[in-house]
A = this chain, B = another copy of it.
């Protein structure tokens, strides 16, 4: 097999009647399916060899990656792209080394494929096993963050899936170089290059075709901001795993120990404000002794407070806040901002959370057992935390190995998704002539 760059026109199968984008993306997806079949049978040693090969080649070709990335960043700057977006788009030698190291790390993790979920011998002698197998063809639609290209390709490969990538067009040059490196590495490792393909050359229309490719795409993972995810979820007819949005709440109970409350709030808000498991709203139980110290510590750490009228009254001397409105309760700041409200009861806190949560993570700080148990039972979010930082809703922290994303939906995967969540299961039933009565 020779290396075929997916930007070449020859991808179109000879004699295809429709030369439109749909036919071309479908042809790519069919090649993914063929590659997926080989990948599903590749044992862990083959897949890990390929992951290490990609890591090695990414390090070796740092200069080419940086050159392509510099072109994307320059174009972005010319287009007036925001500093935050340019930062996510930019690669540095240190970032590239870290991405390669993450692939090496992935190679060290157990293979989710082949693990037996359940099994038994039935009364009639049938041997039954439910075994984890790859999904098949995974598609990913994401924003202009070239790290996602390596990340998703690695996770898909490790879990035995072929992947179709649609990255943000602002990262097109970087992604093209990365995909070429990945495909060359796959071939060097004896696996089909078509296990990783890009549809970037088809632009927005390519993404639309992926979203509707029922039967060709087994699962679609959008990664990015709210509008990207909502657009995918609304338009896709293939199964989607919704990830990411986190309007995270902490409820500060009357019984919360002061020092613990200060430590947890500071960590949950300031340790990495731009990620989805950072706290966005603090709900203070009326009269909670920890309130003053918590607000003072947050303000001292540079957190901008957005307070409701009752929270305004709790502000310590020298601490100011903006007036909060409904826009604040529903907002994922992803920055050093925090909405603060005072509630009379745990019920009021639960009601506020039910109204505004995105179902990602909520935490309670308390020393009251009954309140902790009610919070655990009644919060309907992917993660419910008692007396710890919300930053723990993370695949790595929870021991899941590598993280595909944080699912905020209820089907298939909820919360941090590890490699296992990129697999499905197959029932294997073995007999010696059993029939049904």
Cβ contact of A239, chosen from B41, B214, B264, B409, cutoff 8 A: B409
| Docked-complex contact A410 and B233, CB < 8 angstroms | no
Q: Say which one of A19-27, A53-61, A317-325, A411-419 lies at the interface with B.
A: A411-419
Task: With A424-B410, A426-B384, A436-B271 as known contacts, state yes or no: A237 contacts B239, CB within 8 Å.
Answer: no
Q: Mark contacts of A393-409 with chain B using CB atoms, 8 A cut-off: 1 yes-contact digit, 0 otherwise.
A: 10001110000000001
Report the separation of the CA atoms of residues A195 and B122 in the bound assembly, to the nearest whole angstrom.
Answer: 35
Q: Mark contacts of A172-193 with chain B using CB atoms, 8 A cut-off: 1 yes-contact digit, 0 otherwise.
A: 0000000000000000000000
| Docked-complex contact B433 and A388, CB < 8 angstroms | yes
| Docked-complex contact B433 and A386, CB < 8 angstroms | no
| Docked-complex contact A241 and B429, CB < 8 angstroms | no
Task: With A387-B432, A411-B412 as known contacts, state yes or no: A233 contacts B237, CB within 8 Å.
Answer: yes
Main secondary structure of the interface of A (DSSP, over half): mixed
Q: Smallest CB–CB gap between A425 and chain B, Å?
A: 5
Whether a CB of chain B sits under 8 angstroms from the CB of A2 is no
Cβ contact of A384, chosen from B378, B381, B382, B428, cutoff 8 A: B428
| Docked-complex contact A392 and B429, CB < 8 angstroms | yes
Whether a CB of chain B sits under 8 angstroms from the CB of A234 is yes
| Docked-complex contact B429 and A386, CB < 8 angstroms | yes
Cβ contact of A393, chosen from B130, B233, B239, B427, cutoff 8 A: B427
Report the separation of the CA atoms of residues A44 and B182 in the bound assembly, to the nearest whole angstrom.
Answer: 52
| Docked-complex contact A426 and B239, CB < 8 angstroms | no
Cβ contact of A391, chosen from B241, B398, B436, cutoff 8 A: B436
Whether a CB of chain B sits under 8 angstroms from the CB of A385 is yes
Q: Mark contacts of A259-289 with chain B using CB atoms, 8 A cut-off: 1 yes-contact digit, 0 otherwise.
A: 1100110111001000000000000000000
Chain B residues closer than 8 Å to A263, beta-carbon distance? 433, 435
B-contacting residues, A20-76, CB 8 Å = 37, 40-41
Report the separation of the CA atoms of residues A380 and B384 in the bound assembly, to the nearest whole angstrom.
Answer: 36
Whether a CB of chain B sits under 8 angstroms from the CB of A136 is yes
Whether a CB of chain B sits under 8 angstroms from the CB of A389 is yes
Nearest 3 Cβ contacts at the A-B interface: A388-B431, A267-B435, A410-B424
With A387-B433, A388-B433 already in contact, 18 other A-B pairs whose C-beta atoms are closer than 8 Å: A135-B410, A136-B410, A218-B410, A233-B237, A239-B239, A257-B433, A259-B433, A263-B435, A267-B436, A376-B428, A384-B429, A385-B431, A386-B428, A386-B431, A388-B431, A392-B434, A393-B427, A411-B411
| 15 A–B contacts from the bound complex (CB under 8 Å) | A41-B377, A126-B392, A135-B410, A136-B410, A218-B411, A241-B411, A263-B435, A271-B436, A372-B430, A381-B426, A383-B429, A388-B431, A391-B436, A398-B427, A411-B412
